[in-house]
């Protein structure tokens, strides 16, 4: 795929092109926090930042999503029949998404879209209609550990275009046909530009100091890890709140509820989380994950053992470090995985 140059003084023209027929979103600074918002011009978007506080997964998997509606009238010929919600009506572009977050969507594709029967149309519709323009990390945070979980600060997985900040300009690498269409008209990069990007990539990789080792986690049997004594300590301080799962780009559990108000009814899906006892509570009163230890263990086992076993070695973590930064009791996933691997 082609390597192009996007000059910094041409960003506005580039963005204008992007939002002509599409909704354009990018990380912005708002109330002191970095989050996603619609943008139209280059100065509205952030070009030098670490990452958004929360993951962008809600573009594809909103925290609350109406799936269907129905007329809540028993006996009415039109009553109690589910009607589909309209699909996304405009394509979208996410600009300056970090490679770890784009990689996370590719991991979630393996879960939401597996085969004909497991084929989540809500996820798929938004994925198909969204273009991802990544911004390579030249300066990973101390909490980043992407290189140790199969991702990279300059990673291209899941992206249509990767931008690399070369200082005075961006190297724009088209990675898919969709990406090619966006950057095709830009001037071609010179050999020196690609060499500089490669240097920046190497430097960024070198800045990732901590991480996880997975070799023994991979070779050990599920039950050996499941029964390991470490969980008794990991769970001690855990609050069983939803912070780690809600900020995580790969956590994807949900709960579906039917809600009614007068004659209006809807089926709505909401984020749920393995830390909640209610998540696994059975109608019988039995709870297969009845203790805090069961729930804490589930999160780490799911990401680092069950997903790799079931999805051809793919890890359910991209090393973005959000849970490390936000956990109210500093449960550090790197430490937990290294303890699993000890």
Partner 1 sequence: MEAIAQKIREAAKRLLSEGKVDVVIGYAKGTVPMREYPYFAYTPEEAENLTWSSFCCNNLALYTIRRPGRMAVVAQGCVSRNLVNLINENQFKRDDLYVIGVNSPGMVDRRKVQALFPGKTITEVIEEPEHLLVKGQGFEERLERKKVFRSNCLTCVQRNPVISDEMIGEVGPEGHGGNIDKVAAPWEKLVPAERWTEMQETLKDCIRCYACRDACPLCYCHVCFVDEAQPQWCGKTQDEADVATFHILRAFHCAGRCTDCGACESACPQGIKMRRLTSKIEKDIRALYGYRPGMEIGAQPPMSLFKPNDPQDFIK
Binding site for partner 1 (CB under 8 A): 29, 32-34, 48-50, 53-54, 63-64, 139, 141-143, 233, 236-237, 239-243, 245-247, 255, 257, 259, 268, 270, 273, 276-278, 281, 324-326, 328-332, 334-335
Longest dimension (CA), the chain: 72
Alpha carbon 237 to its chain centroid, in Å, reads 26
- Please say which residue, 197 or 248, places its beta carbon nearer to partner 1: 248
Q: How far is the CB of 316 from partner 1 (least distance, A)?
A: 19
Alpha carbons 330 and 163: distance in angstroms, whole number: 33
Alpha carbons 223 and 297: distance in angstroms, whole number: 12
Instruction: Output b/e per residue, 86-117; b: 16+ Cβ within 10 A.
Output: eebeeebbbbbbbbbbbbbbbbbbebbbeeee
Torsion of CA 262, 263, 269, 275, to 10 degrees: 20
Q: How far is the CB of 29 from partner 1 (least distance, A)?
A: 7
Torsion of CA 143, 49, 154, 125, to 10 degrees: 100
φ and ψ of 293, to 5 deg: -60, -45
Residue 53, judged by CB atoms within 10 A of its CB (0-12, 13-18, 19+), counts as middle
Collapsing DSSP states into helix, strand and coil, what is residue 338?
A: helix
- Please say which residue, 132 or 144, places its beta carbon nearer to partner 1: 144
Q: How far is the CB of 136 from partner 1 (least distance, A)?
A: 17
Q: How far is the CB of 16 from partner 1 (least distance, A)?
A: 26
- Please say which residue, 137 or 183, places its beta carbon nearer to partner 1: 137
DSSP annotation of 304:
I
Q: How far is the CB of 113 from partner 1 (least distance, A)?
A: 25
Q: How far is the CB of 207 from partner 1 (least distance, A)?
A: 9
- Please say which residue, 128 or 258, places its beta carbon nearer to partner 1: 258
Contact indicator for 211, 334 with CB cutoff of 8 Å: yes
As given in the structure block, the two tokens for residue 79 are 């009553």
Task: Tell me the β-bridge partners of 135.
Answer: 163
Q: How far is the CB of 270 from partner 1 (least distance, A)?
A: 5
- Please say which residue, 45 or 183, places its beta carbon nearer to partner 1: 45
Q: How far is the CB of 60 from partner 1 (least distance, A)?
A: 16
- Please say which residue, 143 or 152, places its beta carbon nearer to partner 1: 143
- Please say which residue, 199 or 259, places its beta carbon nearer to partner 1: 259
Alpha carbons 244 and 216: distance in angstroms, whole number: 24
- Please say which residue, 3 or 50, places its beta carbon nearer to partner 1: 50
């Amino acid at each position: 795929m082609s390597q192009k140059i996007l000059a910094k003084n041409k960003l506005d023209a580039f963005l204008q092109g992007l939002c002509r027929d599409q909704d354009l979103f990018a990380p912005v600074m708002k109330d002191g926090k970095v989050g996603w918002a619609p943008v139209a011009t280059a100065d509205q978007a952030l070009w030098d930042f670490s990452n958004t506080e929360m993951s962008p997964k809600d573009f594809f998997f909103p925290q609350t999503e109406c799936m269907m509606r129905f007329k809540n009238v028993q006996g009415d010929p039109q009553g109690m029949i589910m009607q589909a919600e309209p699909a996304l009506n405009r394509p979208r572009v996410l600009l300056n998404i970090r490679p770890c977050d784009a990689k996370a969507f590719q991991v979630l594709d393996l879960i939401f879209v597996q085969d004909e029967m497991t084929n989540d149309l809500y996820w798929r519709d938004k994925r198909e209609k969204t273009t991802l323009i990544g911004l390579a990390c030249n300066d990973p945070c101390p909490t980043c550990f992407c290189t140790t979980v199969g991702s990279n600060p300059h990673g291209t997985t899941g992206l249509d275009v990767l931008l690399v900040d070369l200082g005075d300009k961006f190297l724009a690498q088209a990675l898919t046909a969709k990406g090619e269409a966006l950057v095709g008209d830009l001037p071609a990069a010179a050999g020196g530009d690609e060499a500089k990007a490669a240097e920046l990539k190497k430097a960024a990789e070198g800045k990732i100091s901590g991480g996880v080792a997975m070799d023994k986690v991979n070779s050990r049997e599920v039950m050996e890890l499941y029964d390991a004594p470490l969980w008794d300590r990991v769970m001690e301080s855990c609050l069983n709140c939803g912070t780690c799962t809600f900020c995580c780009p790969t956590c994807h559990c949900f709960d579906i509820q039917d809600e009614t108000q007068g004659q209006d009814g809807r089926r709505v899906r909401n984020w749920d989380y393995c830390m909640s006892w209610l998540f696994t509570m059975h109608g019988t009163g039995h709870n297969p994950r009845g203790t805090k230890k069961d729930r804490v263990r589930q999160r780490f086992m799911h990401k680092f053992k069950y997903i790799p076993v079931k999805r051809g070695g793919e890890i359910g973590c991209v090393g973005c470090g959000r849970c490390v930064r936000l956990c109210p009791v500093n449960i550090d996933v790197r430490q937990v995985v290294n303890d699993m691997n000890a």
